[in-house]
Amino acid sequence: MVSVLGQLKAVARVAMYLVLAYFAISLWQDPAGAAQATLDFVKGIGNLFATLIDKLVAFVRSLIG
């Protein structure tokens, strides 16, 4: 009998392959749009970390003095 954890791993693997296939198909159909979406995603992550660092620095400064 297959354990629940084994079944979850199999489902996660199938989901990962489906997501990869979706990205491959979207890249194939619209390379410029996929590149722009990827660029926007990376910019969003960068802005998130920049904001996080700024707020953390402001918090530490308010604690110190």
Answering whether pTM is above 0.85, one says: no
Alpha carbons within 13 angstroms on the beta-carbon side of residue 25 total: 6
* Alpha carbon distance 25, 34 (integer Å): 10
- First-to-final CA distance of the chain: 62
Question: How confident is the model over 7-62, as pLDDT tens digits?
Answer: 999 999 999 999 999 988 988 999 898 889 889 999 999 999 999 999 999 999 99
Name the domain count of the chain.
1
Cβ contacts of 59 within 8 Å, gap of 6 or more:
none
**Domain span including residue 52:** 4-64
DSSP string, 1-22: ---HHHHHHHHHHHHHHHHHHH
